[in-house]
Chains A and B, each alone.
Chain A
Amino acid sequence: MVSIAARHNINISGRPDGQPILFAHGFGCDQNMWRYVAPRFEDEFRVVLFDHIGAGGSDPSAYDPQRYSSLSGYAEDVVAICTELELRDAVFVGHSVSAMIGVLAAAAAPKLFAKLVLVGPSPRYINDDDYVGGFSVDDINDMLESLESNYLGWSSVMAPVIMGRADRPELGEELTESFCRTDPSIARQFARVTFLSDNRKDLPAVATPALVLQCVNDVIAPVSVGEFVCDRMPNASMVLLNATGHCPNLSAPEETAAAIEQFVRRSTFALR
Chain B
Amino acid sequence: MTSIGGEARDAFCEALLDDDAEQLYDRAPCGYLSTAPDGTILKVNQTFLTLTGYDRGQLVARMRFVQLLSAGGRIYHETHYAPMLSMHGEAHEIALDLVCANGSRLPVLVNSVLERDAHGAPLIVRTAVFDARLRRKYERELLRAKQRAEQSEAHARALAHTLQQTLIPPTPPAIPNLDVAAAYRPAGDGSEVGGDFYDIFQIGASDWVVAIGDVCGKGVNAAVVTALVRHTLRAATVQHAEPSKALRTLNDVLRQHQTDRFCTVALLRLRQADGEWIGTVSCAGHPLPLFRQSDGTLRAVGQPGALLGIVDEAPLRDAQIKLLPGDTLLLYTDGITEARNGKEFYGEERLAVAATQSYGSAEALASAVVSEALEFQAGRPRDDIAVVAIRVPLR
Contact = CB atoms under 8 A, between A and B. Distances in A.
A175 B94 CA distance: 20
B83 A33 contact: yes
B87 A142 contact: no
Interface in B69-103: 70-80, 82-84, 86-90, 92-97
A3 B75 CA distance: 33
B84 A219 contact: no
A149 B89 contact: no
Interface string A135-175: 11011111111111110110001100110000111110001
B38 to A, nearest CB: 4
A180 B70 contact: no
B326 interface: no
Contact of A251 (B82, B84, B95): B82
Nearest to A154: B93
Contacts of A147: 76
Given A168-B89, A244-B39, A247-B86, A148 B143 contact: yes
A244 B67 CA distance: 12
Interface residues of B, number: 39
Interface of A: 26-29, 32-33, 35, 96, 135-136, 138-150, 152-153, 157-158, 161-162, 167-171, 175, 179-180, 195, 217-220, 244-247, 250-251
A247 B88 contact: no
B326 to A, nearest CB: 45
Interface stretch (B43-51, B134-142, B238-246, B384-392): B134-142
Contacts of B93: 153, 157-158
Top 8 A-B pairs, shortest CB-CB distance: A142-B72, A28-B79, A143-B72, A139-B71, A244-B38, A246-B78, A146-B72, A250-B86
B95 A146 contact: yes
A150 B79 contact: no
B114 to A, nearest CB: 9
A136 to B, nearest CB: 7
Given A244-B39, A251-B37, A149 B136 contact: yes
B83 A149 contact: no
Contact of A245 (B82, B84, B95, B140): B82
B126 interface: no
A246 B86 CA distance: 13
B116 interface: yes
B120 interface: yes
Contacts of B74: 219-220
A140 B88 CA distance: 27
Nearest to A148: B143
Nearest to A142: B72
B79 A246 contact: yes
Contact of B80 (A28, A149, A244): A28
A70 B142 CA distance: 30
Given A140-B72, A146-B70, A148-B143, 19 more contacts: A28-B79, A29-B83, A135-B71, A139-B70, A139-B71, A149-B143, A152-B95, A152-B139, A158-B93, A161-B88, A170-B86, A170-B87, A170-B89, A179-B84, A180-B80, A220-B74, A220-B79, A246-B78, A247-B82
Of the listed residues B72, B96, B140, the one surrounded by the most CB atoms of chain A closer than 10 A to its CB is: B72
A245 B78 contact: yes
Interface in B208-254: none
A152 B142 contact: yes
Contacts of B122: 251
A251 B87 CA distance: 10
Contacts of A142: 70-73, 97
Contact of A136 (B71, B84, B136): B71
B64 interface: yes
A33 B74 CA distance: 18
B70 to A, nearest CB: 6
Contacts of B72: 139-146
16 contacts: A26-B79, A135-B71, A135-B75, A139-B70, A139-B71, A139-B72, A142-B72, A143-B75, A147-B76, A153-B94, A158-B93, A161-B90, A195-B75, A219-B67, A220-B78, A245-B78
A153 to B, nearest CB: 5
A32 B352 CA distance: 59
Contacts of A150: 76, 80, 94-95
A148 B145 CA distance: 13
Contact of B66 (A139, A141, A162, A219): A219
Nearest to A27: B79
Nearest to A159: B92
B73 to A, nearest CB: 5
Given A158-B92, A244-B64, A179 B76 contact: no
Contacts of B37: 251
Nearest to B78: A246
Contacts of B75: 135, 139, 143, 146, 195, 219-220
Nearest to A162: B88
B83 A28 contact: yes
Contacts of A161: 88, 90, 92
Contacts of B84: 179-180
Contacts of A149: 95, 136, 139-140, 143
B88 A250 contact: no
A96 B80 CA distance: 13
Contacts of A28: 79-80, 83
